[in-house]
């Protein structure tokens, strides 16, 4: 599919109408036009001459081509989409400039109209009527000619939208000699369009600023030579040099150097992360102080950053249920307003001896009140602002529909391992029966092992800074542990099976039983006669888990549920430590799916996991949230991705989603409320054209400004 950046879209309704017209062309079936992102996607075989004609008739135009994608179903191209747009960063500058020019032109026209209008008002009673009418007419034409001609075309085609309503109102006002009112309608409607366009552009610009984090070039090392190359040309295995203050071009591994790296572009975390040789780095993160040489592990198009940018762009394209409802509502609402306007014009003069001119004027005012600008604008700016804010914080929301859903959830299901816990074993209990040998023997046996339990034991021994023995011989005992020869004496390390050669005193047996009931994994160390000591090992609970669960309950999430494959005792212990309201242990992946289905029947459920072994449960929940610092499977599976490796930012994201939903509801109430009040003014005959246009414009400006407040960072999250 071919993609183009469109400028000059005056409202979401216009974008919808243009899309409908393009779909009627040959090869126009799959065409989409997003008002939120200003992006048009069309079949390469479509007649661009016809597309341009449709755009031009609505005052819109193609600012630039984004890219041509021969096979959009290819996963590689799917990600290339996001990448391409960012490699050509200069295009952003171009189309921003073109939009600024359009704004300046519109502003100049409105100022000229305003001056002429002011002159006509002040010269009333001084100039003859024909001269005054000429001044008013000039002011009307300068600010309202584009709307007027668009509306006239629609009227001929019997298409009823905002422009049609304004055109009928202008014709009617001129017909009954209300020149002053007609001019004010034209100027205020022009101002309305300018401010409406500015609001959406501000939201889009904040999104585009976010998309500028991708570096454009890299310093590639070839045969000890340094060459500047575009990041799109980087291949897996290439070596690149990153100077202090520069951006890392793509995901890779440090081969030389040590530095702190700012990963805010990926994870939203402002604190730098210390990195050294052998450690992975993300493309888009910034090297703070040291000189680094990095081996590229992923071509830019497949990097975490390219996928993030692509997903953030795509997120703007989706319509939320609220937006779909508003668009549908506006479709029927406009003709309904025209019927009401006709009744207001006809009924009082015909049946209630009203004055035709007075009630025609009232009818025209009703038409202007009927403009659904503010209503259609209630949602998109708020949604784009919300997606931008969450993306800035390292939280990817894959569409407005998911942001809306996030603000409505009442149940949150957690996977345990790697989500509420670190997924790394650590020594929680130590039982020492032989001070001189227990830890030294354990260290000697475990120091060369890569087993996760061995690493936990070595971490504990290293912390105590002990000198450990040397092993002379090591033998693995299948399913039970290890036998080793140290200082010509045999030692055993492992579970109870590994020390069956000795009789365990009842006090130690009691202690083993107690530790097991506490959900700990037991590792015993013994010689030929006795137990030297034992380690009680558990999965370390993340320090932020308890405060996150408390914050979620405070936000109104009624039910927090932990699902785990671990046995019930471990589940019980972790659940008590973190404060979840319910827990289920011993679950297989399919059991997790069934539990999520069961919870979904009672409310709106979000499932959060590390995106690797939780894919089925994440897919089953109404909302799948994955965490895990950009793992591919997490990004692919979930609806929302936390790019951090912790839950700390989750309450903030839910709070923001609730705020977006509140703003949208508030906007709808304000835009409809002002219209209802204005319509009620027709009963006593108090509605005037300028009150009508001010009620519409006021509502539009108000909902735009309220929506843009979402972009403002707050220090504390609201708990409401």
What is the CATH superfamily name and number for domain 422-539? Calcium-transporting ATPase, cytoplasmic domain N (3.40.1110.10)
Predicted confidence (pLDDT) per residue in 474-499, tens digit: 888 776 788 999 888 999 999 888 88
Convert the pLDDT of each residue in 422-464 to its tens digit: 877 889 899 999 988 999 999 999 888 878 788 899 999 988 8
Asked if residues 399 and 520 have their Cβ atoms less than 8 Å apart, the reply is no
pLDDT per residue as tens digits for the range 650-709: 999 999 999 999 999 998 898 888 888 887 887 777 777 777 777 777 787 788 888 888
**266-311 pLDDT, tens digit each:** 766 666 788 888 888 888 888 888 889 999 998 877 777 777 777 6
What does the pLDDT read at residue 86?
34
> Considering the chain, what is the average pLDDT of its residues?
79
Fold of 2-73: Alpha-Beta Plaits (3.30.70)
Cross-strand bridge partners of residue 6: 62
CA 425 to each of CA 390, 459, 496: distance values in angstroms, whole numbers, following the listed order: 32, 10, 19
| pLDDT, average across residues 314-339 | 70
Half-sphere exposure of 245 (CA within 13 A, CB side): 0
Confidence band, pLDDT 50/70/90 cuts, at residue 78: very low
316: tokens are: 């703007």
Predicted confidence band of residue 102 (pLDDT cuts 50, 70, 90): low
Spans of all domains in the chain: 2-73, 101-208+318-382+659-711, 217-313, 422-539
pLDDT the model gives residue 640: 87
Instruction: Dump pLDDT digits (tens) for 137-150.
Output: 888 888 777 777 77
pLDDT-derived band of residue 44, with 50, 70 and 90 as boundaries?
confident
Burial class (CB in 10 A: 0-12, 13-18, 19+), 657: buried
Report d(CA 316, CA 541) in Å as an integer.
36
| pLDDT score at 204 | 63
Q: What are phi and psi of 388, to 5 degrees?
A: -65, -45
Token readout for 138 is 């000039």
Which residues fall within 8 angstroms of residue 52, CB to CB, at 6 or more apart? 61, 62
**How far is Cα 455 from Cα 452, in angstroms, rounded to an integer?**
5
Strand partners, 276: 258
pLDDT tens per residue across span 351-408: 887 778 778 878 877 877 776 767 777 787 888 888 888 888 888 888 788 898 899 9
- Is residue 91 over pLDDT 50? no
pLDDT of residue 81: 36
What confidence category does residue 71 fall into, taking pLDDT thresholds of 50, 70 and 90? Answer: very low
Angle at which helices 129-156 and 162-175 pack, to 10 degrees? Answer: 150
Measured CA to CA, the distance from residue 672 to residue 669 in angstroms comes to: 5
- Whole-angstrom distance, CA of residue 659 vs CA of residue 718: 8
534 has pLDDT over 80: yes
DSSP for 446-483, please give it.
HTT---HHHHHHHHHHHHTT---PPPSEEEEETTTEEE
d(CA 627, CA 545): 14
Same CATH topology for 217-313 and 422-539: the answer is no
* Residue 587 vs residue 293, higher pLDDT: 293
* E strand segments, 223-299: 225-230, 239-242, 252-256, 258-262, 273-276, 280-281, 286-287, 292-296
CA distance 674 to 667: 11
Q: How many CA atoms lie within 13 A of 42 on its CB side?
A: 27
Residue 101 to residue 106: CA distance in whole angstroms? 9
Q: Considering only 74-88, 170-184, 435-449, 519-533, which range has the smallest mean pLDDT? A: 74-88
The tokens of 274 are what?
């210390």
Q: Which of 215-224, 240-249, 324-333, 639-648 has the lowest mean pLDDT?
A: 324-333
Q: Could you tell me which residues are beta bridge partners of residue 5? A: 39, 64
Q: Is the pLDDT of residue 121 over 60?
A: yes
405 Cβ contact partners less than 8 Å away, ≥ 6 residues apart: 604, 606, 622, 623, 639
Among candidate residues 415, 614, 639, 645, the one labeled active-site is 415
pLDDT in the model for residue 367: 76
Q: Tell me: the pLDDT tens digits for 671-681?
A: 888 888 887 88
Give the DSSP H or E segment for 430.
strand 421-432
The predicted structure's pLDDT at residue 103: 60
pLDDT above 90 (res 1) = no
Residues with Cβ within 8 Å of 113's Cβ and at least 6 positions away in sequence, in order, are 139, 140, 142, 143, 183, 186, 187, 190
**Above 80 in pLDDT, residue 236?**
yes
Q: List the Cα angle 169/170/173 in 5-degree steps.
A: 80
Give the pairing type, strands 623-627 and 640-642: parallel
Note the pLDDT of residue 360. Answer: 82
Residue with tokens 């699902």: 563
Longest dimension (CA), the chain: 121
Check residue 70 and give its pLDDT: 36
Per-residue pLDDT at 211 exceeds 80: no
Q: Give tens-digit pLDDT for 18-35.
A: 888 888 888 888 888 877
The segment with the largest mean pLDDT, out of 35-39, 65-69, 127-131, is 127-131
The topology (CATH level 3) of 217-313 is 2.70.150
pTM, to two decimals: 0.69
Antiparallel, parallel or unpaired: β 623-627 and 605-609: parallel
Q: Determine whether 415 is an active site residue.
A: yes
Quote the CA–CA distance of 666 and 655 in Å, as a whole number.
16
Whether 178 has a pLDDT exceeding 90, the answer reads no
Tokens standing for residue 68: 């041509």
How many Cα atoms occupy the beta-carbon half-sphere of 639 within 13 Å? Answer: 22
The predicted structure's pLDDT at residue 554 = 92
Query: Which percentage of the chain shows pLDDT scores above 90?
Result: 14
pLDDT value at residue 69: 39
Checking if the pLDDT of 99 tops 80, the result is no
């Amino acid at each position: 599919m071919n993609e183009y950046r469109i400028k000059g879209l005056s409202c979401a309704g216009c974008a919808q109408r243009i899309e409908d017209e393009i779909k009627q062309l040959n090869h126009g079936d799959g065409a989409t036009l997003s008002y939120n992102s200003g992006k048009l996607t069309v079949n390469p075989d479509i007649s661009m001459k016809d597309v341009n004609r449709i755009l031009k008739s609505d005052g819109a135009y193609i600012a630039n081509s984004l890219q041509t994608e021969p096979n959009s179903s290819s996963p590689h191209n799917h990600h290339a989409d996001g990448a391409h747009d960012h490699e050509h960063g200069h295009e952003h500058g171009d189309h921003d400039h073109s939009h600024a020019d359009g704004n300046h032109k519109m502003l100049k026209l409105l100022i000229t109209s305003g001056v002429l209008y002011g002159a006509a008002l002040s010269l009333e009673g001084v100039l003859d009527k024909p001269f005054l009418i000429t001044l008013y007419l000039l002011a009307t034409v300068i600010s309202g000619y584009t709307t007027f001609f668009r509306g006239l075309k629609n009227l001929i085609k019997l298409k009823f939208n905002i422009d049609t309503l304004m055109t009928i109102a202008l014709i009617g006002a001129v017909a009954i000699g209300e020149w002053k009112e007609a001019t004010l309608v034209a100027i205020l409607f022009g101002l309305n369009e300018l401010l409406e366009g500015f609001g959406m552009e501000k939201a889009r610009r904040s999104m585009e600023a976010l998309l500028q984090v991708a570096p454009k070039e890299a310093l590639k090392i070839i045969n000890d030579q340094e060459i500047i190359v575009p990041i799109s040309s980087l291949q897996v295995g290439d070596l690149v040099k990153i100077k202090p203050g520069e951006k890392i071009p793509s995901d890779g591994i440090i081969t030389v150097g040590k530095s702190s790296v700012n990963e805010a572009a990926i994870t939203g975390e402002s604190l730098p992360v210390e990195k050294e040789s052998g450690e992975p780095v993300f493309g888009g993160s910034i090297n703070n102080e040291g000189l680094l040489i990095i081996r590229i592990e992923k071509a830019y198009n497949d990097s975490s950053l390219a996928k993030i940018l692509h997903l953030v762009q795509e997120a703007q394209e989706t319509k939320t249920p609220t937006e779909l409802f508003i668009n549908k509502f506006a479709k029927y609402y406009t003709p309904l307003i025209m019927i009401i306007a006709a009744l207001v014009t006809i009924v009082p003069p015909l049946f209630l001896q009203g004055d035709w001119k007075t009630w025609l004027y009232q009818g025209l005012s009703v038409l202007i009140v009927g403009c659904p600008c503010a209503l259609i604008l209630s949602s998109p700016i708020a949604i784009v602002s919300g997606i931008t804010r969450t993306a800035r914080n390292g939280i990817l929301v894959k569409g407005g529909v998911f942001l809306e859903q996030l603000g409505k959830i009442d149940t949150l299901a957690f996977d345990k391992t790697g989500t509420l816990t670190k997924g790394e074993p650590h020594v929680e209990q130590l039982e020492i029966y032989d001070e001189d040998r227990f830890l030294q023997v354990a260290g000697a046996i475990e120091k060369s092992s890569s087993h996760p339990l061995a690493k936990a034991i070595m971490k504990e021994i290293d912390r105590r800074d002990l000198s450990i023995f040397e092993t002379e011989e090591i033998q693995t005992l299948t399913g039970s542990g290890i036998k080793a020869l140290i200082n010509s004496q045999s030692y055993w390390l492992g579970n109870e099976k590994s020390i069956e050669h000795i009789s365990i005193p009842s006090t130690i047996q009691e202690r083993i039983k107690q530790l097991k009931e506490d959900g700990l994994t037991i590792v015993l160390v013994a010689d030929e006669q006795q137990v030297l000591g034992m380690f009680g090992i558990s999965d370390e609970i993340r320090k932020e888990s308890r405060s996150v669960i408390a914050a979620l309950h405070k936000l109104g999430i009624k039910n927090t549920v932990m699902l785990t494959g671990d046995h019930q005792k471990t589940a019980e212990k972790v659940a008590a430590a973190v404060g979840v309201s319910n827990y289920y242990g011993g679950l297989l992946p399919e059991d997790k799916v069934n539990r999520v289905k069961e919870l979904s029947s009672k409310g709106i459920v979000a499932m959060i996991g590390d995106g690797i072994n939780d894919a089925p449960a994440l897919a089953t929940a109404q909302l799948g949230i994955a965490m895990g610092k950009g793992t591919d499977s997490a990004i692919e599976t979930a609806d929302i991705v936390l790019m951090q490796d912790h839950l700390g930012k989750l309450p903030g994201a839910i709070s923001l989603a609730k705020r977006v939903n509140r703003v949208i509801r508030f906007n709808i109430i304000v835009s409809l409320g002002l219209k209802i009040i204005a319509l009620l003014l027709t009963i006593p005959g108090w509605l005037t054209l300028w009150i009508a246009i001010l009620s519409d414009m006021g509502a539009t400006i108000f909902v735009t400004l309220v929506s843009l407040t979402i972009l403002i960072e707050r220090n504390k999250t609201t708990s409401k």
